[in-house]
Structure 1
Amino acid sequence: MKRLLIPLAAAGLSAATLTLPASAEPHWATDPLTPKPADAYSSAYFWLDANGAALRKATQYYWDFKEVPKLVGTQSKAPDDGKPGMTAPTGTVKAATKVKNINLPRTIGKVFFLDRAGKYRWCSATSIQSRHRNLVVTAGHCVYEKGKDVFRKWVFVPGYYQGKAPWGVYAGAYAFTAYDLDTYDDYDGDYAFVAVHNGFSLAGEKEVSHDEFKAWAGDKWIKPREIDAKEFLKCQLNLGECWSEGEDKPADLVGPDYPGAALEKVEVPKETYDDAKIGKGQGFKFGEPVVEQVTKPAWDAYKGPGIKGTDAVGNYTITHYYTQKWVKPGTSRKYYEAHYIIGIAKDMGRLGDVVGGQGFAWNQPMGQQVAAFGYPSAPHPDGDKPYTGLTPKYCLGKTGTKTYQVNTFRVERHQVLKCSMTPGADGGPWLMKYDNNKRTGYVNGVTSMFHDQDGNSRIDYISSAYFDGEVAAVYDKASYAETKVIVGPKGELLR
């Protein structure tokens, strides 16, 4: 896959907003996900179809947590990478009543994708403020597979809860990340910003004419209805779309031991029944005679081999006699008529207009109070599994006062937070200055890795790339990405 590397000169942040040392000229990479509306529709529909069956099937994406990496080589201070900066959040909800517990932000959700092996996967993420209100931030390894190609069918589902997408599904259009992650799988750049198209939800189905069906650009299918031979002939005469399957083939007489043989009963005269044997085989008796009570008109009209009579109280009766018939079942031709169905989708609008967007902060001092959110799911290394991944969780605390190294992932400066969330929380935001009433803050990190520092086989720290001026440059480039409306006012797919 071809990658586009863009120098800092193309970035839109002004020098007054973003100040970088001369030696820290950033580079970044951008990759297409599904820039075309038709492909984006297909990706989102893949996850929404069958009432979100694929969403429920997905499992968290993570590296082998049985080999939890250690945080080592603490630094004496935060990286010197220029002046700190911030962009303000945007919200869509009124300030909530003050509560003691944490109000979950409306912006968080899950990203879903297919990995290289074709497995259904997910990570955590959040909507973040941008020029076009269409940006998601998550961990880089939740967009790029081992620093290489982007994942397939990548979508963001804000407010995800137990297989539901309350505010629609937003298909990724373009991904932006650090050059070092894209090229070297370097987790100092384990973050990604993804510009997403307008979201949509499925709003049912509708039967239409053949001409409407042909003109429909969205999802559509033919639903067959079984009809009889007369309806089939009428359909053909009217040039409708109808077809037949199978053939009329009578049943063949076989022995009772023939594989798949079916037993049928044949009504015969009393004399034939009396001459038949008792047992199992062609022409053998089929049970005892059956005495049927009937009305006088039915008794008069009966012309079969049974014997008409009356019982002791004067009721009219017909006594039936049956023998066995073993057959290989025949087949009959079936007839079908096409019914044309279109799937109706509903445009949900731009992501930031629907759920808002968190702010963004870079080059911040260490030791910040943050709220980290995510959907933890995996068990701890010791096998204990306290989380389900169905609902979001959070950790509160101050980040470490120093950055750390993680040698196995080429990490030289990760910020850390004491937290027991497990994989599945990957990509979840670290929100600085979180306003519990407005449910907004400033993204100053995303969960990248999980650590067991005290050696008890339980996660006790999570870490994130330090958000410096280079991250801000990638964010700024991503915020310029324009995306598209996927479905029109009638629910049709737009080209």
Structure 2
Amino acid sequence: MKRLLVPLAAASLGATALALPAAAEPGWISDPLAPKPADAYSNAQFWLDANGAALKKATQYRIDAKDVPKLVRPQTQAGDGKPGGVAPTGTTPPSAKSKNVNLPKTIGKVFFLDRAGQPRWCSATSIQSRHRNLVATAGHCVYEHGKDVFRKWVFVPGYYQGKAPFGVYVGAYAFTAYDLDTYDDYDGDFAFVAVHNGFRLAGLKKVTKAEFDKWAGDKWVQPRPITAEEYGKCLLNLGDCYSEGEDKPADRVGPDYPGAVLEREEVGAQAYKDAKTGKGSGYKFGKPETVPATKAEYDAYKGPGDKSDDKRGNYSITRYYVQKWVKPGTTRKYYMAEYMIGIVKDAGRLGDVVGGQGIAWNQPMNQRVIAFGYPSAPHPDGDRPFSGLTPKWCTGKTGTKTYQINTFRVETHQVLKCSMTPGADGGPWLVRYDNNKRTGYVNGVTSLFVDEDGNDRVDHITSAYFDGEVADVYAKANLAETKKIVGPNGELLPG
């Protein structure tokens, strides 16, 4: 993947806003996702088209692993400097105190296409940033095997049962640890993605051909069926109409002809009497049909059947049918071209709409956290308690030590006792969570799922330990500027 220079804000952050530990050399990498508005528009449209069909079709992303990972070799130390952090921002008014967990508006799903072109999703959260445009998730939910980024990457905050209540936010630039990108090292299994302004569909509109040609957003030609007479008038007026196919009568064939269909043909009483019983053209088709008729129907009928008048005002018609096997004909069809445009609406910056969680690094172990996510995959034993349609959570204290996990080159992952399954990966671990304000500090994102007691059930989840390297990557992502995708009239903006 070719590296891209990301447009960064010129002013530097003050020490009060973000104090970073010293680092010997950069440990971060940046990759483009869809920095151009036209590409971002296309990505959002892909997921929103047909009433969000692709969103509903997506399944949780699962890391390729033959066995469920095991925790090994607990470490005694974690961190590489002084504790630090950035405070959250929120858009949700404080709620009344509750013993239940109040879900934050910031959490949602990220959607993308994997290398096979299949729609997938992970969990994520909006996170506080300078330009109110940053998403935090697992690195493996942005980078495929630590290499190239996934295609059509978007974030849907507040995702609930197939709906995108706050719009779709298209990824512009991705930031992660150098070791994840280069070595697929899951000690760096985290990522920050700068997203464009949100995008919502606001209906469609029929326009003239001239307006259609000028429109820079989503547009299409919609055919409307018309009659042959309307088509003729359209041609005289030089309208936008066209025809397809040709008028071709049906051909009489035998009943064994490939594609032959059975029709009935009305005949007279004598022809019906002479017809044979069986299968084939000219053979009897059912029994004669005698039906009551009105005086008008009686007078209007000119067919070969028999009419009956009992002179007391009672009329009936008897009809006789034989079989007619035909190869169906075709009919020329006529259409008027209608020019349609899709109206979309700018939903604003992510942080202005749903707020952003804070972030903390070099925090002590054994802290109480609450982890959110959208679990969906079954446990190793096949039981599937989660649907992935609604967010779930686990709460408790992280382990007193970090752990090594050989399968994914992990040396220092923090762990939490939790039974959420894949689909929750990328979801935030929040310390100091204020249940009334629904905000806290992201101190991890779900990375791996562990069956520690060997009973074929996930019982622990892990996260990269957020240290100075995470803070360094965050600092770079924090400066990334993104754009509006659409203008005030729903048009695609240039750039």
Q: TM-score, normalised by structure 1?
A: 0.93
Q: How far does the alpha carbon of each residue in 1:205-248 deviate from its partner, in whole angstroms, 9 at most, with x for none?
A: 22222222222222122221111111111111122221111111
Query: Does the 8 Å contact 1:12/1:477 carry over to 2?
Result: no
Residue equivalent to 1:54:
54
Residue of structure 2 in register with 1:69 after alignment: 69
Q: Secondary structure at the match of 1:438?
A: coil
CA contact (8 A) 1:12 1:476 kept: no
Distance 1:319 1:369, change over 3 A: closer
Residue 65 of structure 1: how far off its partner (Å): 5.7
Structure 2 matches for 1:444-463, cutoff 5 A?
444-463=443-462
In structure 2, the residue matched to 1:345 is 344
Aligned to 1:433: 432
**2: distance between equivalents of 1:276 and 1:471?**
89
Map of 2:38 onto structure 1: 38
Q: Which moved more, 1:61-70 or 1:471-480?
A: 61-70
Superposition pairs for residues 370-449 of structure 1, below 5 Å? 370-449=369-448
Matched residue, 1:243: 242
| 1:310 to 1:61, Cα distance in 2 relative to 1, 3 A | same
The number of residue pairs the alignment matches comes to 490
1:396 aligns to what SS in structure 2? strand
The answer to whether the 8 A contact 1:198-1:350 is kept is yes
Q: 2 CA distance for matches of 1:379 and 1:300?
A: 73
Of 449-458 and 137-146, more deviation after overlay is shown by 449-458
Matched to 2:217, the amino acid is: G
Amino acid at match of 1:71: L
Contact persistence 1:256–1:282 (CA under 8 A) = yes
Show structure 1 runs of 5+ residues with no match. none
| 2:171 alignment counterpart | 172
For 2:53 and 2:320, how far apart are their aligned partners in 1? 55
Identical aligned residues as a percent: 75
Match of residue 225 from structure 1: 224
- Listed one character per residue, the Cα deviations across residues 288-343 of structure 1 (whole Å, up to 9, x for unaligned) are 44445444455455544444442274424444444443322222211111112222
1:410, distance to aligned residue in structure 2 (A): 1.6
2:259 match: secondary structure: coil
Distance of 2:409 and 2:387 partners within structure 1? 30
Secondary structure, counterpart of 1:248 in structure 2: coil
CA distance in 1: counterparts of 2:5 and 2:221, whole angstroms: 46
Q: For 1:140 and 1:128, locate their aligned partners in 2 and report how far apart those are by CA, in whole Å.
A: 15
Contact 2:243–2:333 (CA under 8 A) maintained in structure 1: yes
1:469-484 to 2 correspondences below 5 Å: 469-484=468-483
> After alignment, is 216-225 or 262-271 more displaced?
262-271
SS of structure 2 residue aligned to 1:77: coil
Instruction: Identify the range of structure 1 (252-261 vs 138-147) with the bigger mean alpha-carbon deviation.
Output: 252-261
CA deviations over 1:180-202 (Å, ceiling 9, x no partner): 11111111111100000011121
Q: Pairwise CA RMSD of aligned residues?
A: 2.3
Shift of the alpha carbon at 1:285?
4.1
Equivalent position amino acid for 1:356 in 2? G
Q: Which amino acid in the other structure matches residue 18 of structure 1?
A: A
User: What is the match of residue 20 of structure 1?
Assistant: 21
CA contact (8 A) 2:268 2:305 kept: yes
Judge conservation of contact 1:311–1:317 (CA < 8 Å) in 2: no
Query: Residue 474 of structure 1 aligns to a residue in which SS?
Result: helix
Q: Secondary structure at the match of 2:380?
A: coil
Aligned counterparts, 1:37-186, within 5 A: 37-64=37-64, 67-79=67-79, 81-186=80-185
Contact 1:65 1:381 (8 Å CA) reproduced: no
Aligned partners of 2:372 and 2:337: how far apart in 1?
A: 49
Q: Tell whether 2:202 aligns with 1:203.
A: yes
Q: Which moved more, 1:160-169 or 1:332-341?
A: 332-341
State the one-letter code of the partner of 1:46.
Answer: F
Distance 1:392 1:322, change over 3 A: closer
Q: Which secondary structure state, in structure 2, belongs to the residue aligned with residue 447 of structure 1?
A: strand
Q: Please give the per-residue CA displacement for 1:338-367, whole angstroms capped at 9, x wherever unaligned.
A: 112222212111000000000111122222
* C-alpha distance in structure 2 between counterparts of 1:162 and 1:142, whole Å: 20
- Whole-angstrom CA distance in 2 between matches of 1:71 and 1:318: 87
User: Mean Cα displacement is larger for which, 93-102 or 267-276?
Assistant: 267-276
How far apart, in 2, do the equivalents of 1:477 and 1:274 lie?
92
Between 145-154 and 377-386, report the one with greater CA deviation.
377-386
Report the CA distance between 1:15 and its aligned residue. Answer: 6.5
Aligned partners of 1:306, 1:5: CA distance in 2, in Å? 85
Cα distance change on mapping 1:70 and 1:317 into 2, 3 Å: closer
CA contact (8 A) 2:125 2:157 kept: yes
Once the two structures are TM-superposed, the CA of residue 66 in structure 1 deviates from its matched residue by 5.3
What residue identity is the alignment partner of 2:86? Answer: T
Indicate the larger mover: 428-437 or 388-397. 388-397
Q: State how far apart, in whole Å, the 2-side matches of 1:63 and 1:11 are.
A: 39
Give the match's secondary structure for 1:422.
Answer: coil
Answer whether contact 2:123 2:426 (CA < 8 A) is retained.
yes
Distance 1:190 1:342 in 2: 41
- Quick one: structure 1 residues 280 and 389, their matched pair in 2 at CA, closer, same or farther if it must change by over 3 Å? closer
Verify the 8 A CA contact 1:11 1:473 in the aligned structure 2. Answer: no
CA contact (8 A) 1:47 1:53 kept: yes
Q: Equivalent residue of 2:73, what SS?
A: coil
2:193 corresponding residue in structure 1: 194
Q: Which residue of 2 aligns with 1:357?
A: 356
| Whole-angstrom CA distance in 1 between matches of 2:30 and 2:366 | 31
Of 141-150 and 237-246, the range deviating more from structure 2? 237-246
SS of corresponding position for 2:74: coil
1:312–1:432 Cα change, 3 Å:
same
Rounded to whole Å, the distance in 2 between the matches of 1:193 and 1:483 is 14
Q: Distance in 1 between matches of 2:22 and 2:242?
A: 73
Unaligned stretches of 5+ residues in structure 2 = none
TM-score between both structures, scaled by the size of structure 2: 0.93
CA contact (8 A) 2:20 2:471 kept: no
Alpha-carbon offset, residue 265 of structure 1: 3.5
Q: 1:199·1:347 contact (CA, 8 Å) conserved in 2? A: yes
CA shift, 1:36, in A, is 0.8
Letter in 1 for 2:355: G
